[in-house]
Amino acid sequence: MKIVVIDGQGGRLGRMLVELIRDSFADARIYGIGTNSIATANMLKGGCDFGASGENPVIRNVTDADAVLGPVGIIAAHAMLGEVTPAMAEAVGGCRAPKYLIPVNSCGITVAGTRGMQLNTLAAQLVQQMAADLNGGNGKSPVRYLDHDT
């Protein structure tokens, strides 16, 4: 199974997602794709199997992914302080893989119903939903909550 995590800026969210996915899917191939090298390095520290940075790795790796995770800005051109190029947003938004997105303030997108939720709670819920979907909706909850600051 190929799971692609995309993040930018400092890569804190991406690292958190990689750690949660690693705990839930020991056999998955996790690709940490950063919009910059700092984000990629952070996801590699979190335990992803492969890491790359920039536009082309995003475009190439989402084409055959089984799931794509990241902040909601990865589907919006010029989001995350301009780190998401139009080509990146188009590739992610248009790929066939299910997308599991977390609303974050730096993306410039507001999602109703998320106010007051901590980032680690959102990340755990996101990976829990992905696990349920990819495991055929068997209702198992293999995700543990991390003690990261938000």
Say which residue, 7 or 103, is predicted with more confidence. Answer: 7
- Judged on CB neighbours under 10 Å (0-12, 13-18, 19+), 139 is exposed
113 within domain boundaries: yes
Asked if residue 71 lies in contact with residue 103, where contact means CB atoms within 8 angstroms, the answer is yes
User: Domain containing 13 — which CATH number?
Assistant: 3.40.50
145 within domain boundaries: no
96 within domain boundaries: yes
56 within domain boundaries: yes
pLDDT band at 26 (very low <50, low <70, confident <90, very high): confident
* pLDDT given for residue 8 in this prediction: 93
Q: Taking 60 as the threshold, does the pLDDT of residue 144 lie above it?
A: no
Global pTM value: 0.87
Q: Taking 60 as the threshold, does the pLDDT of residue 19 lie above it?
A: yes
Q: Using the 8-state DSSP alphabet, how is residue 7 labeled?
A: E
**In which domain, by residue range, is 58 found?**
2-134
118 within domain boundaries: yes
Residues 118-146: what's their mean pLDDT? 74
Give the chain's mean pLDDT.
Answer: 88
139 within domain boundaries: no
> How confident is the model over 42-100, as pLDDT tens digits?
999 999 999 999 999 999 999 999 999 999 999 999 999 999 999 999 999 999 999 99
Q: How far apart are CA 77 and CA 43, in angstroms?
A: 22
141 within domain boundaries: no
Please count the other Cβ atoms lying within 10 Å of the Cβ belonging to residue 2. 17
- Judged on CB neighbours under 10 Å (0-12, 13-18, 19+), 43 is buried
* pLDDT given for residue 149 in this prediction: 41
Q: Taking 80 as the threshold, does the pLDDT of residue 16 lie above it?
A: yes
Q: Print burial letters for 96-134: b (CB count within 10 Å at least 16), e (below 16).
A: ebebbbbbbeebeeeeeeeeeeebbebbbebbbebbbeb
Lookup: tokens for 46: 């979190």
Count of domains in the chain?
A: 1
148 within domain boundaries: no
pLDDT band at 137 (very low <50, low <70, confident <90, very high): low
Lookup: tokens for 84: 């998401």
Least confident among 2-6, 12-16, 22-26, 66-70: 22-26
